[in-house]
Amino acid sequence: MVSPKIKGIIFGKLHQDLGHVGMFEVGNDIWFIDSEKKYWYFRYHDDGLLWLRKSYFENFFTLFSLSIDEFLPLICEWFETNKNLKVSDTEQFGFVPTELLNRIVGED
């Protein structure tokens, strides 16, 4: 269980780090990508499944000494609150080809 004070700090840091990330609709998915860096953070499917970039969030949450089981509920709560999208389940994955990210953000 994370204290409300620590949770507030985590949410503030997530907002600071991810507030600039663009939303790109592709079919039934919404990708959350830093288009300048070609770096994705989330992929949200319209059935509520949220994929997240595991390596980024594992590194992010080492600052708070939280394991993946401890931080997944926090990510879901932050995402639902800030993106106004309901999360039904989560998955983690890492590699997305740069060519795919270029197509998503509209660059060839």
Instruction: State what percent of residues in the chain have pLDDT above 70.
Output: 98
> Above 90 in pLDDT, residue 94?
no
Q: What is the pLDDT of residues 11-31, one digit of tens each?
A: 999 999 999 999 999 999 999
Question: What 3-state class would DSSP assign to 46?
Answer: coil
Of residues 36, 38, 34, 2, the one with CA closest to residue 18: 34
Q: Kindly report the pTM of this predicted structure.
A: 0.88
User: Confidence class of residue 107 from pLDDT cuts 50, 70 and 90?
Assistant: low
Q: What is the pLDDT of residues 33-44, one digit of tens each?
A: 998 988 999 999
Task: Delimit the domains of the chain by residue range.
Answer: 4-104
